[in-house]
Structure 1
C-alpha cells in the first residue's frame, strides 16, 4: 500500500511533556562521542552560562521519535515500519536543550511525494519548552520503499 498523499499538511497532537534528565544527556553524549565538557560536567556547563549540562545538537531525535510513533501508528498513513529508511535529518535550534527542560513536540507532515517507485515523507517536529517557547525544529525525510513486484 502506498503512503497516503493526504498526509501532507497533517498535524498530530503535541506529545506528553518529556523531562530531560541529566543522565540521559550524558548517556546520549557518550553514545554519539560528544566529548565536550558542557555535555558531561555540570560545572563546565554552568561556567558557560547554562543551568545544567547541555544536550548534543542531535539529542532532539529522542523527542522526535515520540512524534514518529504517532505517524507510524496512524492507520490512514499507509506507512509500514519495515519498509522505512531514514533519508535525511536536520535540526534548527533556537537554544540548546538543557537537563531539566520539560519539552513537548508536535509533528507536521510537510511533504509527501513519490520518487522512483518509493514514497518520501518529510516531517517537521517543533519542540517547545514548558513556557511554549521554541527550542528546536527537527526536520526529517523518511523513504518508504515501494512494494516488491
Structure 2
C-alpha cells in the first residue's frame, strides 16, 4: 500500500535531464494537435514571421517532460503517489524566451503539496538553454483520487 503524501516532499528535486528539441518532433506534435500554422513547419515561414528558426508551439514542453524524463513515473511512485489514482489537473507555462530546436536541459522539483480531503502535488520544471539561461518554467499539478 502506498504511503501517504506529505508536505515534506516540497522542494525535492528530481534528476536533471537533457533533451534535444527537433524540428521533426515539433512537426509531429503540431500534426497531433491539428496545429496548421506554417511557422511550425517551415523555417522560411518562421523567419518571415520574425523568428530565427521554427519555434516550438506553446504546449510543446509537455513533450520534453514525458519523452525526456520517463523516470517521472518511478519518481512519483517512490514519493508515495499511487499512479493508478492520478488525474492530470493543470499544466501552466511561463515563457522567458522562445523555445527553438536545439539542446536543452531541464530540472524538476516538487513546488507544492496539498493534503486533506484532496491530495494535489505540483511539479515545477525549468527548461534551460545551453548557456544555462532559463527558457521557460512549466507547472504540472496532479490530483490523487482517494478510495
| TM-score between the two structures when normalised by the length of structure 1 | 0.86
- 1:98 aligned counterpart, secondary structure: coil
Equivalent residue for 1:81? 83
Equivalent residue for 2:125? 125
Q: Hey, what's the Cα distance between the residues in 1 that align with 2:67 and 2:111? A: 17
Structure 2: gaps of 5 or more residues: none
Equivalent residue for 1:91? 93
- 1:72 aligned counterpart, secondary structure: helix
Structure 1 residues 79-110: Cα deviation after superposition (integer angstroms, max 9, x where no partner)? 122211000110011122112x2111111101
1:72 aligns with 2:73: yes
Identify which of 3, 6, 11 aligns with 2:5.
3
Structure 1: gaps of 5 or more residues: none
Q: CA RMSD in A?
A: 1.8
Q: Hey, what's the Cα distance between the residues in 2 that align with 1:137 and 1:42? A: 25
User: How far is the alpha carbon of 1:130 from its aligned partner?
Assistant: 1.0
- 2:115 aligned counterpart, secondary structure: strand
Equivalent residue pairs, number:
144
Q: Equivalences for 1:23-102 in 2 at 5 Å?
A: 23-65=24-66, 69-74=70-75, 76-99=78-101, 101-102=102-103
Q: Hey, what's the Cα distance between the residues in 2 that align with 1:133 and 1:112? A: 27
- 2:140 aligned counterpart, secondary structure: strand
Q: Hey, what's the Cα distance between the residues in 2 that align with 1:30 and 1:7? A: 37
Structure 1 residues 25-50: Cα deviation after superposition (integer angstroms, max 9, x where no partner)? 01101111222111111111122333
8 A Cα contact 1:50 1:98, kept in partner: no
